[in-house]
Amino acid sequence: MDLQTLILNLSRYWADCGCIIQQPYDTEVGAGTMHPETFLRVLGPEPYRVAYVQPSRRPADARYGENPFRLGRHLQMQVILKPSPDDIQGLYLKSLEAMGIDPSVHDIRFEEDNWESPTLGAWGVGWQVLLDGMEITQFTYFQQAGGIDLAPMTAELTYGLERISMFLQRKDSIYDIEWGGGIPYGQIRLTDEREASTYGFEVADVDMLRRHFEDWEGEAVRCLEHDPPLVLPALEATLKTSHLFNLLDARGAVSVTERVGLIARVRANALRAAKAYTEQREAMGWPLGNALEAESQEKGAV
């Protein structure tokens, strides 16, 4: 199964499970979790189901296209189910069938792997899912995001699409997997990985990055202090600062002591954006509904 068929099949499957099929966010992010469709939607009582592919940029992980397993930008398929359904593990195992994997002839394991993002003030507990010894999915029950305790709880599934493709296609290098129509991944992405590595490790203008960090940080604060707060613009500006931090870090320009401070600055705005979002949605009367109230009404009726 080529990469694009994998994406299409997973999208189709999760759409059939009631997910909105979203598109990648058009701001650089380090993980699908930072997409507002995850980071903001998990907040508050509104139920939501969404799936999307998110190209995730991690400049420090780039390897000039020389390492067959590591990329500076990789694709994540992100699935968000809120509240987490009772049969979530069953739904997940069925998604493997959409990938052409018959769970009855494989060894599928859920091994503890908890997740934490200091930058987003978020953490969750869960597993890495192993297929015949290969990690194919990160499975997390979010417990907190934006520093806010969550209720209802969200289940997040993150499929590492290149790794899964390598495994399904039994290729020894990411660059050899077939993307679609017989075209290998390397044809489409190798040059881009090399250039991004050179840029991130050698060329990126540190002074400019620092300036822009300050600028976008200020912009995030301005959006947050606008009356009423501009939630999405504030989050976007914060995501910019997060990416700029990652670039500075890859460039080796962040000292040990500075690192903690910069992360704390990104986090502060992420937390404020999260709070502003919940206030905005509450003021709107939770337009998508209130899962917690629906539950208590049901109980009342019994």
Partner 1 sequence: MASFLLEIRTEEIPANALPGARRQLQNLFAKHLGDAGFTAFQTTVLSTPLRLIVTITDLPQKQDDRIEEMTGPPSRIAVAEDGSPTKAGLGFAAKAGLPFEQLGRLETEKGEYLAATVNHVGRATSEILAEITPAILSSLRFPKMMRWGLGSFLFVRPVHGIVALLDDEIIPFEAFGITSGTTTVGHRVHSPQPFEISHADRYSETMAQHSVMVDPAERRRNLEITAQHLASTVGCMVHDDPRLVAEHVELVEWPGLIVGSFDRDFLELPPEVVISTLRHHQKCLILEFGDGTLQPFFLAVIDRKDDPEDLIRLGNEWVIRARLADAAFFFSEDRKLPLEDSIAGLERVEWHRVLGSLEAKAERLGRLAVTLSGQLNLDLSTESLCRAARLVKADLTTHMVGEFPELQGVMGGHYLRLEGADEELWTASRDHYRPVGFDGDSPASELGRVLGVADRLDTIAGLYAVGEKPTGSRDPLGLRRAAQAIVKVIIDTGWALDLEKIVAEAVYGVADQATEDIETVKRAVTGFMADRLRRWLTDVTGVAGDTADAVMASGWFNACETVARAEALESVRSNDSFRALALAFKRVQNITDGKAEGDVDSSLFEHTEEKELHDAVLEFHATLERLLPEHRVTEAFEAMIPIADTLDRFFIEVMVMAENNEIRANRIALLKLLGRDFLTLADLSILQIDGGE
**Which residues bind to partner 1, rule: CB under 8 A?**
66-69, 83-86, 89, 103-112, 114, 124-125, 127, 131-134, 141, 143, 150-153, 155, 166-167, 170, 172, 252, 255-257, 259-260, 291-292, 295
Task: Pick between residue 90 and residue 218 the one whose CB is nearest to partner 1.
Answer: 90
Closest approach of Cβ 99 to partner 1, in Å? 13
- Which of 221/291 has CB closer to partner 1? 291
256 vs 283, which CB is nearer to partner 1? 256
CB of 54 to partner 1, least distance (A): 24
At its nearest, how many Å lie between partner 1 and the CB of residue 262?
13
Q: Which is nearer to partner 1, 108 or 232 (CB)?
A: 108
Q: What is the 3-state secondary structure (H, E, C) of 49-105?
A: EEEEEEEEECHHHCCCCCCCCCCCEEEEEEEEEECCCCCHHHHHHHHHHHCCCCHHH
User: CB-wise, 30 or 47, nearer to partner 1?
Assistant: 47
Containing 242, the helix (H) or strand (E) segment is helix 231-250
Which CB sits closer to partner 1, 42 or 224?
A: 42
Cα separation values, 270 from 19, 81, 147, Å: 25, 22, 9
* CA distances, 43 to each of 28, 78, 123, 151 (Å): 22, 17, 13, 8
Residue 51 forms beta bridges with which residues? 21, 79
For the packed helices 206-225 and 231-250, what is the interaxial angle rounded to 10 degrees? 160
Tokens of 160: 């590492």
Please state the closest distance from residue 8 (CB atom) to partner 1, in A.
Answer: 24
Smallest distance, Å, CB 110 to partner 1?
Answer: 4
Give the span between the Cα atoms of 100 and 118, in whole angstroms: 36
Q: Shortest approach of partner 1 to residue 67 CB, angstroms?
A: 6
